[in-house]
Amino acid sequence: MELINNEYILENKSFLVSETDEKGIIRFANDEFCQFAEYSLDELIGKPHSIVRDPDMPKAAFKDLWETIQAGKRWKGFVKNGTKNGKFYWVFATIFPFTSNDNSKGYISCRRRASRKEVEKYTKLYKQMKERE
């Protein structure tokens, strides 16, 4: 894990996973997600996934995300997450809605490293979107 200018850079092999209920409350997070977010698993379980939302993320991005997954569709996109200690990291996320055997609904989020080119592109785009909020 590399830290440059307050940004953690994921390794190419990094794979961050979390699971939430249908309201976005964390039910599971893998060790790598906890490491980058700078939270222990106990600190994350039962908390809203927005605990890792970076303030630079525009509301419209999350509106699109929620509308897509609540409609039962898979969402893909670039996300800047914040850490417990004020740092951040960029990911390319894929979020899958699911229904378990007991008919409870939830979401699995799988995240990998975003390229520097993608980070630059979405940093500019999200800044423009935030300015219009």
Q: Are strands 88-99 and 75-82 parallel, antiparallel or unpaired?
A: antiparallel
Q: Are 22 and 99 in contact (CB under 8 A)?
A: no
Summarised one tens digit per residue, pLDDT across range 36-51 is 999 999 999 999 999 9
Output phi, psi for 78, to 5 deg.
Answer: -100, 135
Q: How far apart are CA 52 and CA 88, in angstroms?
A: 9
Q: How far apart are CA 95 and CA 77, in angstroms?
A: 9
CATH class of 2-131: alpha beta
In this structure, what token pair is assigned to residue 99?
């229904």
Taking the whole predicted model, whether its pTM rises above 0.75 is answered as yes
Summarised one tens digit per residue, pLDDT across range 56-102 is 999 999 999 999 999 999 999 999 999 999 999 999 999 999 998 88
**Coil vs helix vs strand at 23:** coil
pLDDT for res 100 = 87
Output phi, psi for 90, to 5 deg.
Answer: -100, 145
Residue listed under structure tokens 């990911």: 91
